[in-house]
Amino acid sequence: MSVLVSLNGRRRIYEVKGDVAVVRINDPNSKVNTLSIQMQKEMAEVMDEVWANDAVKSAVLISSKPGCFIAGADINMIQSCNSADEVTTLSQEGQKMFERIEKSPKPIVAAINGSCLGGGLEFAIACQYRIATKSKKTVLGTPEVMLGLLPGAGGTQRLPKMVGLPSAFDMMLTGRNIRADKAKKMGLVNQLVDPLGPGLKSPEERTIDYLEEVAIEYARGIVNKKIPIRKEKEIQDYVMSFEFVRNQIYKTVHSKVMKQSKGLYPAPLKIIECVKTGVEQGPVAGYLSESQNFGQLARTSESGALIGLYHGQVACKKNHYGVPQREVKTLAILGAGLMGAGVAQVTVDKGVHTVLKDTTVSGLARGEQQVYKGLNDKTKKRNITSFQRDSILSGLTGQLDYSGFEKVDMVIEAVFEDIHIKHAVLKEVEAVVSPHCIFASNTSALPIKDIAAASKRPDKVIGMHYFSPVDKMQLLEIITTDQTSKDTTASAVAVGLKQGKVIIVVGDGPGFYTTRCLAPMLAEAVRVLQEGVDPKKLDALTTSFGFPVGAATLADEVGIDVAAHVAEDLGKAFGSRFGGGNVEVLKTMVDLGFKGRKSGKGCYIYQPGLKTKEVNPDIGDVLEQFRMTPNPAVSSDSDVQYRLVSRFVNEAVLCLQEGILKNPLEGDIGAVFGLGFPPCLGGPFRFVDSFGADKLVEKMRRFEAVYGNQFTPCQLLLDHAKDSSKKFHK
């Protein structure tokens, strides 16, 4: 006997099955469910009906959308608030609603299939019982910290009670997604349900039905007292009952956060504060602290920057160039070096047949081993099974010649950065491939039009600039020339998206966008070193500004030889503006074999197995050779930081001015995801907006007086400085 209560237009519909009310969440206007004001209102109405209905003894809360329970709170709802108090009120309304759920006289079972994040998780943990599908798509987590926020609807209060202090801190401070099986072990969910294959319906539909059937059974079981809802006391709870243990945890977590965030991110510290207040002073104080801190955080520039990056990332995960005429089914990579093999790894595991070509057996073996290792590490982490690893690898062909290239849809070359070699392989490739095949160059600085000059079909030539290590770095910079066809661009973007990349599409020119921004900053870093600043100090200055990797370490990671190469090339192209440090410093280091991490020595000495790295003692002699006298007027710690950052930012703005960049958004995404520009600043353009173009220009003018045109602000930056109403981001 089931009664369908017709509630047209509502996101929630509830149906009574026997004595269990099944509440189905389904936002009609979106692919995912989010907790908006509208939904909260409807939820309250539906729950009132459920509580008032005497025929109902318990309830099941489930989403009708495959792959999504509730993806979180509606970000726009928070952003449209005009004051911290308004956001605090929002938080308090959420807290109240979930308190009613928590105190429900009729047990509520949350049946989770798909993403259960942020506010969705807070909703679920307010319910009396949670059942989740073991599907890969089912993930639970509190990602608010990544947006500079905190779980503001009771999460900071309920989560520690549910999973214990250490796990709760881990979840809330890292924001990482937790898979269903792990969630069960942690006590975050009570029961797991297997995803089903095809039956009388599609796997997705049937799995949701099955989850609902099982959840109804459990809901009845809870009412009949056959299923306990209180978790058993564990040793951990006993340990946590000692105040000194808890204090030790707060202390450790706090110092870890300070070490990693350099105090630049307020959200993690506020999360610790809210949890501590709740645990030590009771729920009333805890909930108040949570809502107030939530309100404050929502108004911080850090949160604004992080939310901006989130939106940017979403925008850069779409193909704005349409559907390519042909899907790339076979992709060939020339050069099995670090880059080539990295590209192969992120391609082959997406089901694309991947050909990895090198010129030597040893080079090929190294590359294939890198792909294997990358996949095998996933096996060890149990992300994939060894069987999946093997079947993925069956899609990889290693070869030394061009046999079978007539079937290749796209070639990505990752050979040595030399225009003559690039021309040679381009001609070799064009001699064997079919007419539709696209030729992409993974160069970091050579202009694509120079490479395309050797091509018979320049419309099929494009740049695809990956970042090392390819399997970790999210960014892909795609470079189009005037001649690159739209379909070629669409195809390159489609491949990049398949590889899981965040993509910016930029115009052609020496160094494109990312390398061009990085080069002046590295030139400045070299000058700073020449002025007698120790590499460790240089790193400390950059990381304390918010860069995840210090400038000296970054140079080692990129490779001193690559940096020297790029500095020289771009120096030729752009002239004295790219000067600063002496290129000879880098060249001398290369001559001495200090090529960075890959050669074991650079600014630092790298020893396998050792985590700490020491400054390369021989580098002092090199720097001594090129010693410059610092000018005390522009050499304070803060000045050094702004010298580095302003050159980066100015070059980025110039890229926008010159049309290399299409919009500031892609500029911010490229800088943060490709170069590690401080995420808390949201990228160079958002930084200019929040810091003030006028203030930046003022600083640059001061540096310009000492160093000359390297610090001359570009016209667009000057325009923004003149008119404070001009902003890159609205």
475/487 Cα distance (integer angstroms):
21
Give whichever of 383 and 385 is closer to another protein, judged by the CB atom: 385
Question: To the nearest whole angstrom, how small is the minimum distance from the Cβ of residue 185 to another protein?
Answer: 16
Q: Which residues neighbour 240 within 8 Å (Cβ) at sequence distance 6 or greater? A: 164, 165, 246
Contacts by 605-614 with C-beta closer than 8 Å and gap 24+? 606/556
- The alpha-carbon radius of gyration of the chain (Å, integer) is 28
Give whichever of 218 and 648 is closer to another protein, judged by the CB atom: 218
Question: To the nearest whole angstrom, how small is the minimum distance from the Cβ of residue 438 to another protein?
Answer: 34
Give whichever of 197 and 617 is closer to another protein, judged by the CB atom: 197
Using an 8 Å Cβ cutoff, are 74 and 114 in contact? Answer: no
Question: To the nearest whole angstrom, how small is the minimum distance from the Cβ of residue 511 to another protein?
Answer: 47
Give whichever of 201 and 407 is closer to another protein, judged by the CB atom: 201
Question: To the nearest whole angstrom, how small is the minimum distance from the Cβ of residue 250 to another protein?
Answer: 37
Assess whether 477 carries a catalytic annotation: yes
Question: To the nearest whole angstrom, how small is the minimum distance from the Cβ of residue 108 to another protein?
Answer: 18
How far, in whole angstroms, is CA 186 from its chain's centroid? 25
| Cα 520 to Cα 253, 557, 590, distances in angstroms | 37, 17, 19
Using an 8 Å Cβ cutoff, are 504 and 666 in contact? Answer: yes
Structure-token pair, residue 27: 């936002």
HEC letters along 295-360: HHHHCCHHHHHHHHHHHHHHHCCCCCCCCCCCCCCEEEEECCCHHHHHHHHHHHCCCCEEEEECCC
Q: Which of 122, 204, 430, 477 is catalytic?
A: 477
Question: To the nearest whole angstrom, how small is the minimum distance from the Cβ of residue 427 to another protein?
Answer: 44
How far, in whole angstroms, is CA 649 from its chain's centroid? 21
Residues that bind another protein (CB under 8 A): 191, 193-194, 196-203, 206, 210, 214, 217-218, 385, 387
Instruction: Report H helices in 559-683.
Output: 560-574, 583-591, 619-625, 637-658, 664-675
Give whichever of 202 and 369 is closer to another protein, judged by the CB atom: 202
Using an 8 Å Cβ cutoff, are 126 and 98 in contact? Answer: yes
Strand partners, 218: none
Give whichever of 313 and 379 is closer to another protein, judged by the CB atom: 379
Q: Is 363 helix (H, G, I), strand (E, B) or coil?
A: helix
Question: To the nearest whole angstrom, how small is the minimum distance from the Cβ of residue 476 to another protein?
Answer: 32
Give whichever of 193 and 671 is closer to another protein, judged by the CB atom: 193
Put the strands of the sheet holding 12-17 in their side by side order: 2-4, 12-17, 20-25, 58-63, 108-112, 129-133, 191-193
Structure-token pair, residue 592: 């001495």
| Cα 650 to Cα 173, 608, 700, distances in angstroms | 33, 38, 9
**Where in the sequence numbering do the catalytic residues fall?**
477
